[in-house]
């Protein structure tokens, strides 16, 4: 099974700004755009209510796309959170066809845990929950280098899509709900 992952490196101030709830672009009060459209890849990145993509964090490599979403403005009512979204290369969505049981087995393996690890070490990671909700595979990850977070994976238009959520004050239920609502927003934007 082939799973596309990305190790996107961002400036510490950028991640800090997102984590404390500030919009990314220049850390100003200027609202972020509601959506980012990448016509060449036929991808639209749009978050759930209150969260917007930051074009300054957009990374494209070989047809794969990664971008961070944060609160649309520093006045947004949404909880401070960082939403990391990746779209795999065209055709990568076939990896999701095996279903939740095979996905859970992969992420429980050394190779799967290594792919999730911030430091690239399988021993640092454990998957503490894994379940399927419709076509979304959800799993809760504990990473010594990053803490505990929820991640969701699905296929959209032939691409594997991964959504990872973290935030300073998000509880487990809120984090999971944000993964699910982000996946729904992405699916609506990419019909």
pTM of the predicted model as reported, rounded to 2 decimal places? 0.81
Buried b (16+ CB within 10 A) or exposed e, 98-114: eebeebbebbeeeebbb
Q: Which two tokens stand for residue 47?
A: 């978050």
Query: Alpha-carbon distance 138 to 157, whole Å?
Result: 19
Query: What is the 3-state composition of the chain as percent helix, strand, coil, each rounded to the nearest 5?
Result: 30, 35, 35
Predicted confidence band at 29 (pLDDT cuts at 50, 70, 90)?
low
Question: What pLDDT is attached to residue 3?
Answer: 37
For residues 101 and 189, the model is more confident at: 189
**Closest Cα to residue 71, out of 170, 188, 190?**
170
Q: pLDDT tier at 33 (50, 70, 90 boundaries)?
A: confident
How many degrees, rounded to 5, is the angle at CA 170 between CA 102 and CA 105? 10
Please state, as a whole number, how many other Cβ atoms lie within 10 Å of the Cβ of residue 93.
20
Distances (CA, A) of 174 to 2, 40, 91, 161: 30, 34, 31, 20
Considering only residues 12 and 96, tell me which one the structure prediction assigns the higher pLDDT. Answer: 96
DSSP 52-105: EE-GGG-EEETTEEEEEEEESSTT-SSPP-EEEEEE--TTGGGGGGG-HHHHHH
Percentage of the chain beyond pLDDT 90 is 57
């Amino acid at each position: 099974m082939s799973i596309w992952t990305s190790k996107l490196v961002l400036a510490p101030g950028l991640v800090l700004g997102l984590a404390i709830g500030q919009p990314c672009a220049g850390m100003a009060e200027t609202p972020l755009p509601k959506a980012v459209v990448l016509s060449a890849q036929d991808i639209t990145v749009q978050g759930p209510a209150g969260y917007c993509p930051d074009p300054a964090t957009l990374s494209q490599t070989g047809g794969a796309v990664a971008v961070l979403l944060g609160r649309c403005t520093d006045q947004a009512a949404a909880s401070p959170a960082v939403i990391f979204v990746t779209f795999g290369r065209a055709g990568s969505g076939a990896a999701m066809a095996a279903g939740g049981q095979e996905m859970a087995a992969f992420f429980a393996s050394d190779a799967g845990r290594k792919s999730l690890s911030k430091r690239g070490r399988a021993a640092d990671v454990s998957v503490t929950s894994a379940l399927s909700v419709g076509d979304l595979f959800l799993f809760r990850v504990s990473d010594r280098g990053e803490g505990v977070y929820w991640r969701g994976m699905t296929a959209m238009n032939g691409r594997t899509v991964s959504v990872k959520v973290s935030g300073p004050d998000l509880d487990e239920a809120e984090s999971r709900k944000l993964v699910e609502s982000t996946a729904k927003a992405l699916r609506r934007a990419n019909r």
